[in-house]
């Protein structure tokens, strides 16, 4: 695993930058860019803290969705992408576990369609 320098972010880089650097160290900038669906140059500018936009909110959300982990009440710690895929599945009354998962997703605070949802990871 290669070391990715994120010192331009100071002593405590944001979580999304730490996740991005870890993913790049494990594979490559190009692979991570494809996974997140952003350009390789965006990955590079983020890592050196030179992203041209005054806000990183949208890109942070994309990175967290692709690389982040969430604590699911029924499945434990899972990737954010698995959370989203599971949440978007249609209701299936095939077994008790599928029903419980559907109900958990419908009431989960990470679900943007849930009333009172909050998005803290």
Q: What is the pLDDT of residue 97?
A: 86
In the chain the beta strands, taken as DSSP E runs, fall at 69-72, 76-79
Kindly report the CATH number that applies to the domain delimited by 7-67.
Answer: 1.10.260
Residue boundaries of the structural domains of the chain: 7-67, 69-106
In 65-105 the beta strands, taken as DSSP E runs, fall at 69-72, 76-79
What are the tokens at 103?
A: 């109900």
DSSP class of 8: G
| pLDDT by position in tens, the chain (length 121) | 789 999 999 999 998 999 999 999 999 999 999 999 999 999 999 999 999 998 999 999 899 989 988 888 889 999 887 888 888 888 888 888 889 899 999 888 877 777 654 444 4
């Amino acid at each position: 695993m290669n070391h990715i320098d994120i010192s331009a972010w100071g002593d405590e880089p944001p979580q999304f930058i730490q996740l991005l650097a870890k993913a790049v160290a494990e594979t490559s900038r190009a692979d991570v860019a494809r996974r997140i669906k952003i350009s390789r140059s965006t990955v590079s500018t983020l890592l050196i803290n030179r992203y041209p936009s005054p806000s990183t909110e949208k890109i942070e959300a994309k990175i967290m969705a692709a690389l982040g982990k969430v604590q699911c009440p029924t499945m434990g710690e899972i990737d954010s992408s698995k959370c989203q895929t599971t949440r978007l599945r249609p209701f299936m009354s095939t077994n008790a576990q599928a029903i419980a998962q559907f109900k958990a997703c419908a009431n989960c605070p990470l679900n943007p369609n849930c009333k009172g949802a909050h998005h803290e990871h």
